[in-house]
Amino acid sequence: MEILNATVHELIKIRNVQGATVKPPEEGEITRSDSLNGLLTKVLHSYNSRCSRHSGSFEQDTENFRFCPNLQGFMNGEVQFLEFTNIAMERLRKIINDITFASGGFLMYVRYTHNERDMFLVAKLNKESGSFFSANLREVVESNYLNVDHLQVAARVDLQAWQNGEERYLTFVMKQDKDNPSDYFKEFIGCKIDQDSKIESKKLVRVVKDFVTHQIEANAIQPDFAPDLQQRAYDYVEALHRQDPTATLSFDALANTVWPENPEIFLTFINGHAEQPSTGFIPDRTALKALSNINFKSKELTLKTTYHFKQQHIRIEGDQVIIDNAPERLIAELREG
């Protein structure tokens, strides 16, 4: 990984108070160092493994959403990186000025290359207070640090994919608290969420199935446990629907349901998957039935089978349901009837 440009600005904003100011860097970009590389590595790890990410594209309305054309201006060499971030910060200040629940922090802007891809990242890092021992180990002193474990707002652009006109080039993180959602960040970046519930649900099915296969191959679970793991995902969606039919899916909650032992493993897998869906869509229950056991009941027929049995023995041909290698007891029951 190589850092090409990096700046940081302090957004000064007190929660529950109107008004915001920006403290820009005094002497240009951040000095390249191992510490900067280490910080970016930690931020990217948090972004990839701890965050539910939306995917989308830039808004087409470039008059009201200026981040995209300003970033393009930097890419074209019309403005320097620091000037581009100064313009962006003034826009963010205006947006956040009257949002009382919003708080300040450090906005880090980085252009870097990774795996031969040209990337851009903007993330808000919050300052936390903690305690540490003094050099002589005789005192406990206050020590400030950057909390990179829980990113509230961040966005990443695959500059190469964007310039080539590809569909998937922008992902972003927003704090999703019901009372205080971070919609201001979506407006600041000009993110348009591109979602089709059925398509996203089908992607999720593929990801969950691939995750289960990966865990089997890694000897983390036995093959017999696979249907139960998939059922967890389906049960989460059903519970979500019963609670609120318009509720959107959260990867954080899903990860805690599917892999409660270490949810970050599931988040890392889903964020790195080629078919990665976007968080925040309303699940399509019909599409997600592909993860579930079968429980069918009508006046004439009751059919209850596990997902594993369905996969191994049941196939559909037109309007015919065929059971291959049916259990002997079932065959005997049907013959006797």
* pLDDT range class, residue 154, cuts 50, 70, 90: very high
Question: Would you state the pLDDT for residue 93?
Answer: 94
Partner residues linked to 141 by β-bridges: 132
* pLDDT per residue as tens digits for the range 247-270: 888 888 899 999 998 898 998 898
Averaged pLDDT score across all residues of the chain = 87
Q: With contact defined as beta carbons under 8 Å apart, do 292 and 283 qualify?
A: no
Kindly report the CA angle at 262 between 196 and 251, in degrees rounded to 5? 15
Half-sphere exposure (Cβ direction) of 175: Cα atoms closer than 13 Å: 18
Question: Would you state the pLDDT for residue 136?
Answer: 78
Segment 191-208 mean pLDDT: 86
pTM tops 0.85, yes or no? no
* Paired tokens of 50: 């701890």
Tell me phi and psi for residue 120, to 5 degrees.
Answer: -135, 135
Asked whether the predicted pLDDT for residue 241 surpasses 90, the reply is: no
Asked whether the predicted pLDDT for residue 180 surpasses 70, the reply is: no
Question: Is residue 154 packed enough to be buried (19+ CB in 10 Å), middle (13-18) or exposed (0-12)?
Answer: buried
Alpha carbon distance 162, 65 (integer Å): 16
* Paired tokens of 284: 């399509």
* pLDDT per residue as tens digits for the range 77-102: 999 999 999 999 999 999 999 888 88
Domains of the chain: which residue ranges? 2-193, 197-290, 293-336
Asked whether the predicted pLDDT for residue 178 surpasses 60, the reply is: no
* pLDDT range class, residue 14, cuts 50, 70, 90: confident
Segment 145-152 mean pLDDT: 81
Question: Would you state the pLDDT for residue 181?
Answer: 57
Segment 26-41 mean pLDDT: 91
